[in-house]
Chains A and B, each alone.
Chain A
Amino acid sequence: MQRFKLPPQVVRLVILTVAIVASYAVARQIFVPKSFGQYGHYRGDALKEIASREPRYAGQKSCNECHSEVLVKVAKYEHKNIQCESCHGISKAHGNDPDHHDPIKLNDSLCLRCHTRDVARPLFLKQIELSKHYSGKGKCVECHIPHQPNEVP
C-alpha cells in the first residue's frame, strides 16, 4: 500500500513559512522595547525618562521652609499672588545650598516689565509711563518697597 506523502514543494513551502514567522517573532522580541504597549502604541518607559529630569524652579513651598516670615508679610499686600521665583529667579540651587548660591539681585527692569504702560495691558494693573513718572534720580526701590507695594518708606 502506497503511503500518502506530501509533495516536496509543499514541505519546502511549509519550512520556509515557519522560518519566516519564527524569524519575525525573534526579531520582534529583540527590537520592540520592553515597555511598548504599557499605556498605548508607544514605549511606556518614555514617560519615566521624560519625568526623570531635575526641576530647576524650586516652587513656593520650598521658599516657605526658610522664609515663611517674608511670605506672611507679603500676603497682606498687592503682590501677594506673585510667587517668589517670578522676581528672584531660579532658586533650586539656593534652596539646596543657601550659603553658596544667591537668588538674582533685583533691578528696575524687573519692575518695569510688568508696570510699563502698554495698550494691551488690562486696567487692573497699575501702569506708568517712565518719562512722566520717574524723576530720573534714583531707582524704583527708593520710593516703593517690592514686598509692600502699597507702602512708602
Chain B
Amino acid sequence: MKNLYLIIFACLLFCFSQSTYGQSTNFFNQKNIFSVRASFNPRLIPIGQNGNYTDDGMYANEGVGRGTYYQYYDQNNKLVGGDQKFNLMLNASYKRIYNSDKVIGVEFNYQKHNLTINETANIGFTEDDYDISKPFLISTPVFNTYDIQILLGSFSDAVLAPNQHLFTYGLGVRMFSLDQDQNYRIDSETPITDLDDFLDDYEKIFIYTRFSMNYTYRMLITKNLSLDLGLNFNIGLYQDMEAVDNLPMEYGYFTGESAAYSRNFVRNKLGHETFFNMLYFRTGLSFAI
C-alpha cells in the first residue's frame, strides 16, 4: 500500500514538471475556471459480474453490488433486483490558473451509491455435502457520496490556458452517508426496518481518502464558455477491501435477533465496491473568467 503513495507523489511531480515551457499569458487573461459537469461510469468491470440467481435457486454473490446493483422487496413482497446501466456523478469545481498554465483548485462531487447487501445463511447440507443456503438480509442501502478534492494540474503548454488539454490530479476525501429517508426492508417479513437494526451507527459517515487523475478536452463555445469532455480516473485509497470479516452474525437470522451490519463490514464493502467504479467519462460546461 505504501507504493500507492509513492505513485501519487510521482504523479504530482509529473504534473509540475510538465510545463516548464509555460505560456507567459492567458487566453483573454482568464484566470478562474468554474465548471459544472456530469460524469458517467459505465459498468465496465461489474458488467460481467452481475449477481444472479442460478438455476437451482442459488444466488451468485460475486459481482453483486459494485454501486449500481439493487435489490429490494416490492409491495407484493417479491424480491426485485436489477442494475442501473451507469453511475452518475455530478461535479462542480473551481480552478485558479497560476504561472500561466498551472491550475490549483477544488472539486466537489456528488453521487449515489447502492451498497448491495446480500447474505446467505447455511441452513443444512445435502447428501453430496453441498451447502443449502438461504439468502437473508437482502437490501440495498443507498449512500449519498460526497467527494472534496484539491486539484493540481496544468494545461498543455502548446496553447494558451485555459484551452484545450487539461491534466489534473486530485487528492481528497470521499464521504459516504446513508440515505436515511428510505425504507430498507431486510426481508419479506419486515415491512419497515429500524435503522438501528440495519446498520451500526448509521448516522456516522464513512470517510475514505481518494486520488483521482483527470484529463479534460475543452472545446470553446464562446470566449468564456466551453464544453468539456474528459476522463476521470478515481482510485480509493482504502486499504482493507475484503468484506469478509465482521459479517453480521448468522445466528441472528435463526434467532430473529437484530443483525445490524457492523461499520467495519460496511466500510470494507464500500471500499471494495467503489474500487470497481474507477473510470468515469465526463462532460460539462466550464466558464472561465
Determine if chain A interacts with chain B. no
Which residues does B use to contact A, with CB under 8 Å? Answer: none
